[in-house]
Structure 1
Amino acid sequence: MAMGDDTWKAHFGMAVVQLLYGGYHVITKVALNVGVNQLVFCFYRDLLALFIISPIAFFKERQTRPPITKQLLMSFFFLGLTGVERVNLKSFEGLAKVGGTLICVLGAVLMVLYRGPSLIGYTELVIIPQNEISDSSQPEPSGWLISGLKDLGFDNFELGVVFLIGNCMCMAAFLTILAPVLKKYPANLSVTAYSFFFGVVLMAVISLFMTDLSSDWILTQSEILAVVYAGTIASAFNYGVISWCNKILGPALVSLYNPLQPGFSALLSQIFLGSPIYLGSIIGGSLIIAGLYTVTWASYKEKQATVGIITSNDTWVSEPFIREKGVHEKDHI
């Protein structure tokens, strides 16, 4: 019963995580529009998350944290190269999990690539930024990677789709290695703290070579507020919840909640920024929810079947033992 309670808490926790990520995308967009450097923003975000989660992990998991090995340190550094969840394609539940996953992916792709007519809000709010971006007198600054991809013919929207897919792949890799790591090192907060430590080190090294130390590292008040939300909520809190949920649900189910981010982002953008909600977002969001329900139902039925087999086997073994013990006691009497 406790495991069942933890399972539903984990599902609810992952939904909350995606909602908070939706807020992160809205706040980050506002901060980046002001002009904060992306690398500097990510460095401050991860550094703040490290300062928050490290003392919590140190004191809370002091009695349960295993010793560190070289193999674990390498896993903390890479966090993303091995692991998959097995699917039985011969069972109805296994086919349902695959089908639900495909529905989720289809919904996410639809939200990214298809807009359709605006159903909520006014499209004029989107036309204004397009005019500003097309202004050649003030070109948008970009690094060597973005400039190189633009030279190949990619526009800003296509680059956004490419990097969004890359982000989803990196998160899936993080989750797949996290599951086996947590089995060897069952201290999820400590694992999260170590991953943030290496992230901060890497971001610091890259930022030193890619930013202007005299101006890029000075933040305005609105940028500081965005960093605080990103570091405390979107990083420290969310990754702590994700690590715990990954231990309960496994990497496949946790990854499956990522497509909810575009839907929550669209909803929060409409509420706080007045951005329109398009038909594609509604259809895609509906497909994502339907796919999540299908996979969750299939996983629940698989666990029920597994528990039923174990229970029946235990009964089959224990009943003769009880009867045999009763016979011996009768003979002894």
Structure 2
Amino acid sequence: MTEMCGTGDFGKMFNRAKPYLFTVGLQFGMAGTYVFSMASLNHGMSRLVFVVYRNVIAAVALAPFALFFERKTRPKMTLSVFVQILALGFLEPVIDQGFTFLGMQYTSASFASSVMNAVPSVTFVLAVILRLERVKIKELRSQAKVIGTLVSFAGALLMTLYKGPQVHLFHNPNTTHQESGNHSTQSHQHWIAGTLFIGLGCLAWSSFYILQSITIRRYPAELSLSSLICLVGAMESAVVALVAEHRSQAWTIGFDYRLYGPLYTGIISSGIAYYVQGLVMKSRGPVFVTSFNPLCTIIVAALGSFILGEHLYLGSIIGSIIIAVGLYSVVWGKGKDYVDLTSPSGTTTPTKETENLQLPISSSTNTK
């Protein structure tokens, strides 16, 4: 009996920890996106072609799982859901990825991830406007979310505007940063334009989170929805690439970062990321998912310095600390919201957690 009780307690703790584990793991995966994407662009790959390949790979990787696991549980497609999927494919693969990669070429991978820390703030504001997020300014939990969002945004703004002295952490002169010496000069000349492009991508990404949280409720098949978003995004971005990119050589790939970049970002950053986001959003909402985004900046800063040879500045370190404080405040407030939505005693309901955060299983398994 003691062993059974211990196993049950562990199961409850694991169910409570699932959203945090999934979201933190998602940030590690997204950190690799900036590094692999920047390396691919430094090797001469067209950003428009990169987006097309990335989403094609994601759709191909997810489709078999969606067809198998959700073949009997997939809801019927409606016109309104189809229009939302078209909008999702345009917001993330076309606008967000396209403009973020353009801004990244003008700046750096770590800088792009820093600016993207504004996503939680923008998402929070949009969620409040659309009444997806409850805010009662007299409640401590709401104050924590508002203050945490502002603090995180202030940290991201500090990283954007203040560099400070250079910090030599993992700098390696033999990395891809050396190959793009002329590109570095161009990046400083277009730093403001790059920031604006990344900001536009940030707005598109926040809008994508909001719309995805709405669509997942009307079409509760995470794998199928993710596959369709990637497929539609690939088609829409292909149209843009065919119109804007006239060089046939731009579509060629080899056994280097021009292949590794789309392969990694397609499977991890588009395919698995969309699926995990959908799972967590069903129980915690879009603000909870985006509140962990600042962790990605800290990871990218270290990886960018080590792999890409990008310089790490004091402003980035100070900003990361400020962002971490704001992140804790938002997560604390969201945690209080979730406890309030569960049983009166403050304990979570296992069935709800299991329904919202379970891995896909076939209907035959459900019957058994």
TM-score calculated relative to the size of structure 1: 0.80
Name which structure has the greater RCO, CA cutoff 8 Å, separation 6+.
1
* C-alpha contact (below 8 Å) 2:31/2:300 kept by paired residues: yes
Shift of 1:202: 0.5
Structure 2 counterpart of 1:244, from 262, 265, 279: 279
Residue 103 of structure 1 corresponds to: 151
* Secondary structure of the structure 1 residue equivalent to 2:164: coil
Partners of 2:181 and 2:289 in 1: CA distance: 39
Partners of 1:219 and 1:306 in 2: CA distance: 50
Shift of 1:302: 2.7
Partners of 2:310 and 2:235 in 1: CA distance: 36
Partners of 2:179 and 2:164 in 1: CA distance: 19
* Secondary structure of the structure 2 residue equivalent to 1:219: coil
Say if 1:5 and 1:250 are closer, same or farther in 2 by CA, change over 3 A. Answer: farther
Residue 289 of structure 1 corresponds to: 324
Code of the aligned partner of 2:242: L
* Secondary structure of the structure 1 residue equivalent to 2:138: coil
Partners of 1:180 and 1:122 in 2: CA distance: 42
Residue 63 of structure 2 corresponds to: 54
Code of the aligned partner of 1:249: R
Say if 1:193 and 1:7 are closer, same or farther in 2 by CA, change over 3 A. Answer: farther
Structure 1 counterpart of 2:338, from 281, 303, 309: 303
Unaligned stretches of 5+ in structure 1? 141-153, 312-333
Partners of 1:286 and 1:86 in 2: CA distance: 27
Code of the aligned partner of 1:172: S
* C-alpha contact (below 8 Å) 1:122/1:275 kept by paired residues: no
Where in structure 2 are the equivalents of 1:2-17 lying within 5 Å? 5-17=14-26
Q: Which moved more, 1:116-125 or 1:287-296?
A: 116-125
Residue 115 of structure 1 corresponds to: 163
Shift of 1:257: 2.3
Where in structure 2 are the equivalents of 1:49-88 lying within 5 Å? 49-79=58-88, 83=130, 84-88=132-136
Say if 1:233 and 1:303 are closer, same or farther in 2 by CA, change over 3 A. Answer: closer
TM-score calculated relative to the size of structure 2: 0.72
Where in structure 2 are the equivalents of 1:102-251 lying within 5 Å? 102-121=150-169, 132-133=182-183, 155-222=189-256, 223-251=258-286
Shift of 1:86: 2.1
* Secondary structure of the structure 2 residue equivalent to 1:111: helix
Partners of 1:44 and 1:221 in 2: CA distance: 14
Code of the aligned partner of 1:287: I
Code of the aligned partner of 2:334: S
Shift of 1:193: 1.1
Partners of 2:183 and 2:340 in 1: CA distance: 56
Code of the aligned partner of 1:132: N
Q: Give the root-mean-square deviation of aligned CA atoms.
A: 2.8
* C-alpha contact (below 8 Å) 2:135/2:142 kept by paired residues: yes
* C-alpha contact (below 8 Å) 1:14/1:254 kept by paired residues: yes
Partners of 2:341 and 2:259 in 1: CA distance: 50
* C-alpha contact (below 8 Å) 1:120/1:277 kept by paired residues: yes
Code of the aligned partner of 1:250: G
Identical positions, percent: 30
Residue 297 of structure 2 corresponds to: 262
Say if 1:171 and 1:134 are closer, same or farther in 2 by CA, change over 3 A. Answer: closer
Shift of 1:69: 0.6
* Secondary structure of the structure 2 residue equivalent to 1:89: coil
